[in-house]
Amino acid sequence: MKKQIMTFLSKVKNNVIFTLVIMIVSLIIGQLPDLPSSIGFGGFIPILSPIFIAIVTLIIYLISRIFTKKLNWIVIIIGGIYNMHEALDWYLYYKNYK
């Protein structure tokens, strides 16, 4: 069982799909609050930030695959947590902003 889980986690396709799903969820969460009109071009931050974080996460993941083949999925998990943190931080700040 443990070997099957590690095999599943070590596949590049599964990690890329996970990163893309987290990116889409972060985009959705970042667009939920009503932004004030005074924010201007700062409203693009929740659109661009999850995409940028996902790209950087995938680049770091693919570079780490060059050096080692084990436990690379940890990079994807950390990137996903950071991406969700940024989206939730944006959402909670502007949800309570008055």
* Phi then psi dihedrals of residue 58, to 5 deg: -65, -35
Overall domain count for the chain: 1
More confident residue, 32 or 14: 14
**Residues spanned by the domain of 51:** 2-33+41-95
- pLDDT surpassing 80 at residue 98: no
d(CA 16, CA 57): 10
- pLDDT surpassing 90 at residue 33: no
Q: Per residue in 34-79, pLDDT tens?
A: 777 777 777 778 888 999 999 999 999 999 999 988 888 999 999 9
| pTM given for the model | 0.85
Predicted confidence at residue 58, as pLDDT, reads: 95
Residue 81 makes CB contacts below 8 A (sequence gap 6+) with: none
Nearest to 50 by CA among 82, 30, 25, 23: 23
Predicted confidence at residue 69, as pLDDT, reads: 80
Residue 80 makes CB contacts below 8 A (sequence gap 6+) with: 18, 19, 22, 57
